[in-house]
């Protein structure tokens, strides 16, 4: 008989309906690895700092590996009925096909957590009406004042204001909302002059430089130009902040447009496309500078200085680090450097007894002569503008040293110039890859300490030796602004949190649900007015102030 079992042989065991020991060991190993990754305990083993985004990716890979191990065992080795296996496999495959056909990644957080939307749903900026160029024909000229916030990171470009004295007890006296309005997409902040707030936004296929009244949020003028930057990881729209000087607005878009606009009327005085002007290969530049041009204009007495870029189309390689234009006419004056740009804005500082344009390029920190663009010195600072990009501003400290920080496992460092070296050479005073991992944000320097969001957690570090004073609070990849003795932390969630600016400990004084949704934009403070925005809405709040003693 066919079904007869030969003498001395045991019948073959039936396949189990429960996973065998090796599958449980695999799942337990993957789960343990995920716990180690989430807790940061794997960093001593791999020998480098792992940021939150990388942790999320590794965790996803580990989870996917565990599910696939279980699924392969179920389909190939388990004792479940074949129809059940086919039904499970077909259901999973169908769910993947349906999800891929109906959903798209709308955007991702700073820690690479995706947000989904229906494929047929237009993005928010495409639902807004297009901006029509125009403004008030006979408005008074703008006059600069002490309440202005005229550029990226404030009047001095250092994310710090000495006043007003904010009353940080927001439980009893919270900030009062003055106005709220929809706004186009983008990560630009507000620049404020004489009661007017200017920012950049995306509306459909147009980048827009837009001006709003501080008093009520009413639109005053807009200057649209055709162009759209959009990536899954970087989001939609322009990401630099305008600079206002002598009543003129200077603005650089994500796609290369540079404008000079009369603030009082919205009249375009001149415009340039930096990529066209330098002869840059547009497609190759978009791949090299993947997250969109982000440098805000540096405006001096006579020049507008902006990051250049590359590669140059004429020879298929090379780059220009900086380019300067005449403030009045827009005529090109000089080009400086030959390294690819980062996402940092140029700054004018005095180092070694002379004024220099301090800039972070793709892989270095460098100084340029503001008169002719000649590179004076540089030192390496690792980065690639299509992966581990540099986004944080360098800071000149009181002793002449340079503080700089970034995410992607690099952290913070201080470099000091070597006495008597010509050209200047810099040596490292200290470097801490685990501190002040400022991925998209900048630090605040105050009383010998640096305050910043280190991979989303607020941290205070002593500048003298790089020792951490404290670390606390989870705010995501947001922004920080010092106003007097208070740190205003713009969380990635849209919340604004008031924190003591002091090295003793992390003390939260107040919280404000200022915005809803992902917020990478820098806040602005003009007098007692707090201006915040993200890719969907903008709002203005009256800050509570301390009574005079």
Q: Which residue has the tokens 């125009």?
A: 134
Q: Residues 6 or more apart from 59 whose CB is under 8 A from it?
A: 34, 37, 38
- Mean pLDDT, consecutive 10-residue stretches, the chain (549 aa), reads 55 77 89 84 62 83 90 87 89 90 86 84 80 67 95 98 91 94 97 98 96 96 95 93 98 97 97 96 95 97 97 85 98 97 98 94 97 96 95 96 95 92 90 95 98 97 97 96 97 97 96 96 98 97 87
Quote the CA–CA distance of 491 and 528 in Å, as a whole number.
20
Contact yes or no for 261/251 (Cβ under 8 A): yes
Place domain 150-542 in its CATH homologous superfamily: YVTN repeat-like/Quinoprotein amine dehydrogenase (2.130.10.10)
> pLDDT per residue over 3-38, tens digit each?
555 565 666 667 888 888 888 998 899 898 888 888
467 preceded by a cis bond (ω within 30 of 0): no
Name the residue with tokens 């995410």. 407
Q: What is the pLDDT of residues 328-340, one digit of tens each?
A: 999 999 999 999 9
pLDDT for position 123: 82
The answer to whether 386 touches 289, Cβ cutoff 8 Å, is yes
Domain-by-domain residue ranges, the chain? 21-103, 150-542
- Do residues 169 and 163 make contact, with C-beta atoms less than 8 angstroms apart? no
Half-sphere exposure of 232 (CA within 13 A, CB side): 8
Say if CB 167 and CB 545 are below 8 A apart: yes
**Regarding beta strands 196-203 and 206-213, do their DSSP bridges make them parallel or antiparallel, or are they unpaired?**
antiparallel
Q: Which pLDDT belongs to residue 284?
A: 94
Q: How far is CA 250 from CA 143, 245, 295, in A?
A: 16, 8, 12
What lies within 8 Å, CB to CB, of 505 at 6+ separation is: 470, 472
Which pair of tokens denotes residue 516? 């809803």
> Could you write out the DSSP letters of every residue in 330-363?
--EEEEE--S-B-SPPPEEEEETTEEEEEEEBSS
pLDDT at site 1: 42
* Length of the chain in terms of residues written: 549
- Model pLDDT, residue 199: 98
Neighbours of 51 (CB within 10 A): 23
User: Is the separation of the CB atoms in 263 and 223 below 8 Å?
Assistant: no
pTM of the complete model: 0.91
């Amino acid at each position: 008989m066919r079904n007869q079992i030969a003498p001395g042989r045991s019948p073959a065991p039936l396949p189990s309906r429960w996973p065998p020991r090796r599958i449980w060991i695999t799942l337990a190993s993957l789960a343990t690895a995920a716990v180690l990754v989430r807790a940061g305990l794997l960093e001593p083993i791999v020998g480098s700092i792992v940021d939150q985004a990388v942790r999320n990716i590794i965790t996803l890979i580990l989870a996917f590996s565990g599910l696939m191990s279980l699924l392969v065992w179920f389909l190939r080795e388990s004792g479940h009925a074949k129809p059940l296996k086919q039904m499970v496999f077909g259901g999973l495959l169908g769910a993947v096909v349906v999800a891929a056909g109906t959903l798209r990644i709308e955007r991702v957080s700073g820690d690479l957590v995706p947000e989904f939307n229906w494929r047929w749903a237009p993005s928010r900026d495409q639902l807004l009406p297009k901006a029509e160029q125009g403004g008030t024909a006979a408005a008074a000229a703008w006059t600069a004042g002490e309440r202005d916030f005229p550029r990226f990171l404030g009047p001095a470009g250092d994310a710090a204001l000495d006043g007003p004295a904010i009353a940080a007890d927001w439980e009893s006296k919270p900030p009062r909302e003055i106005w709220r309005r929809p706004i186009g997409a983008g990560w630009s902040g507000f620049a404020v002059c004489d009661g007017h707030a200017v920012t950049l936004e995306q509306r459909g296929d147009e980048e827009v430089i837009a001006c709003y009244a501080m008093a009520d949020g009413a639109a005053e003028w807009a200057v649209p130009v055709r162009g759209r930057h959009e990536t899954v990881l970087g989001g939609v729209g322009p990401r630099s902040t305008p600079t206002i000087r002598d009543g003129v607005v200077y603005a650089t878009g994500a796609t290369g447009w540079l404008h000079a606009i009369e603030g009082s009327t919205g009249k375009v005085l001149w415009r340039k496309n930096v990529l066209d002007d330098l002869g840059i290969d547009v497609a190759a530049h978009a791949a090299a500078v993947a997250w969109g041009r982000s440098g805000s204009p540096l405006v001096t007495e006579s020049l507008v200085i902006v990051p250049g870029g590359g590669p140059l189309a004429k020879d298929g390689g090379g780059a220009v680090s900086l380019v300067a234009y005449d403030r009045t006419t827009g005529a090109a004056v000089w080009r400086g450097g030959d390294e690819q740009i980062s996402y940092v804005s140029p700054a004018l500082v005095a180092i070694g007894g002379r004024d220099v344009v301090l800039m972070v390029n793709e892989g270095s920190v460098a100084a340029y002569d503001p008169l002719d663009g000649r590179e004076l010195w540089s030192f390496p600072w690792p980065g690639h503008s299509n992966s581990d990009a540099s986004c944080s501003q360098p800071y000149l400290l009181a002793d002449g040293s340079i503080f700089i920080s970034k995410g992607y496992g690099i952290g913070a460092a201080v470099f000091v110039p070597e006495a008597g070296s010509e050209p200047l050479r810099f040596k490292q005073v200290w470097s801490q890859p685990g501190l002040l991992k400022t991925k998209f944000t900048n630090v605040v320097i105050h009383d010998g300490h640096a305050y910043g969001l280190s991979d989303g957690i607020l941290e205070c570090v002593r500048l003298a030796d790089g020792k951490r004073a404290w670390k606390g609070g989870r705010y995501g990849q947001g922004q920080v602004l010092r106003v007097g003795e208070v740190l205003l932390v713009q969380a990635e969630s849209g919340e604004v949190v008031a924190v003591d600016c002091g090295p003793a400990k992390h003390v939260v004084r107040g919280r404000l649900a200022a915005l809803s949704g992902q917020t990478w934009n820098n806040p602005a403070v003009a007098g007692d007015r707090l201006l915040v925005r993200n890719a969907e809405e903008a709002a203005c709040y009256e800050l509570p102030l301390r009574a005079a003693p």
